[in-house]
Amino acid sequence: MTKHLLLGQTLGFSGNPLLGDWADAVDFDSVGGVLIEAGRIVATGDGAALRAAHPDAAVTDYGAALISAGFVDAHMHYPQTGIIASWGKQLIDWLNTYTFPEEARFGDRAYADDVAGRTLDLALAHGTTTLASFCTIHPTSVDAFFEAASARNMAVIAGKTCMDRNAPDDLRDTAQSAYDDSKALLEKWHGRGRASYAITPRFSPTSTPEQLSALGALWAEHPDCLMQTHLSEQLPEIAWVQELFPEARDYLDTYEQFGLLGERGLYGHAIHLTEREISRLSEVGAAVVHCPTSNTFIGSGLFDLMGLAKASVTVGLATDTGGGSSFSMLRTMAAAYEIGQLRGAALHPAQLIWLATEGSAAALKMTGQIGRLGAGAAADITVLDLHSTPAIAQRAARAGDIWDAVFPTIMMGDDRAVRDVWVAGERRVG
């Protein structure tokens, strides 16, 4: 089996830089190397030493470019690719005006195939190698996404979005059909190649108690799957949930009482949480996902990243395409920094990159498998040009250390900063 050695500046992590001193969690080498074989990373370390130890390896020398684990987008909606950056609506209006009409088109398999392929190619061009996506109520939308990912050998997580109320007639299923369709898709795709299935109620307002209960039962039957949904994104949404579930203690309880709270639960947004909700998320080991460009674009609020991290809640990072306004995890990191500033916490570049790699992998319960520049992980790798535009280059030229060089790319970078992308040891962009 052919070995491949990548040389450049390498950045990995030995711990969580959101907890304690970030410097203690960083593994940076200015003359590093990453050895790839059979689709996995087999070694990292000093580049010259790896080259001497493996003279048979093919070599790609990236010079001063930064070699990182591929970015992991922990919450997005591939069916919303075509409506990204649509003007002027908050959550409920956004769904009714843009999302639902677009999602109705995904019963057409050819249309779903086209958008799925386009979404994944856009993700790769921006350095994202894994996505966790909501599909639509149509099983064909799930098949299209998983097949497009398989063709690119990408590790992805996805599921049929389930809704049996408060949605257009052509986008509603039932409690029974949601269970049956989800079960059939799960049995077809979960664990096939690099695919993982996520049981996917959109959110409590679009599922009856009967549907939530059915999906909770399905999750109990398949506890190795993820369950993804939305939680406490906007204040009017929370008020609506209280009207629909008057007996619930809070928004999270509308999932918990139906068996939809657990360690492999993935809750998007989670901005306006109560103390009880934070405590329960931490207690069960569930993950929340920060979607900063979406939260500002549709006016949702300011996510409390450091507060949740200190409460031992696992946090991932995501574009939330298309409520999010960018396909780029670099732009998403920049927005997370900006929101952190508004909450009085200036996130360090190491913390931001960790969130987009190791942090999101942890949220997806795939620690050590993806999002990691270390032995044993899949060779999903993103190489960043730290001088990709004149504006970035002139700032990086003044850099006193690697973080001074990386931060301008986080704040101003886009797909031009992505010099190369490797997926399972195969070069995909470059």
pLDDT at 35: 98
Q: What is the mean pLDDT of residues 111-137?
A: 98
High-pLDDT (> 90) share of the chain, %: 94
Q: What is the mean pLDDT of residues 369-384?
A: 98
Q: What is the mean pLDDT of residues 34-60?
A: 98
- Average pLDDT of the chain to the nearest whole number: 96
Tell me if 357 sits within 8 A of 372, measured CB to CB: yes
Using alpha carbons, list the distances in angstroms from residue 89 to 95, 97, 168, 299. Answer: 9, 8, 18, 9
Structure confidence by residue, pLDDT tens digits, 65-75: 999 999 999 99
Q: What is the mean pLDDT of residues 213-237?
A: 97
pLDDT of residue 411 exceeding 80, the answer is yes
Domain boundaries, the chain: 3-70+371-429, 71-363
- The 8-class DSSP code of residue 18 comes to T
If pLDDT is split at 50, 70 and 90, which confidence band does 430 have? low
Taking Cα atoms as reference points, which of 280, 286, 290 lies closest to residue 264? Answer: 286
pLDDT of residue 86 exceeding 90, the answer is no
Structure confidence by residue, pLDDT tens digits, 335-358: 999 999 999 999 999 999 999 999
Tell me if 211 sits within 8 A of 175, measured CB to CB: yes
CATH number of 3-70+371-429: 2.30.40.10
Tell me if 8 sits within 8 A of 45, measured CB to CB: no
High-pLDDT (> 70) share of the chain, %: 100
Q: Which helix (H) or strand (E) holds 91?
A: helix 91-94
CATH number of 71-363: 3.20.20.140
What span, in angstroms and rounded, lies between the C-alpha atoms of 374 and 45? Answer: 9
- Give the CA count within 13 Å in the CB-facing half-sphere of 148: 28
User: Do 71-363 and 3-70+371-429 fall under one CATH topology?
Assistant: no
If pLDDT is split at 50, 70 and 90, which confidence band does 231 have? very high
DSSP codes of every residue in 294-339: HHHHTT-----HHHHHHTT-EEEE---TTTSS-S-HHHHHHHHHHH
Give the start-end residues of each E strand in 146-243.
155-159, 161-162, 195-201, 226-231
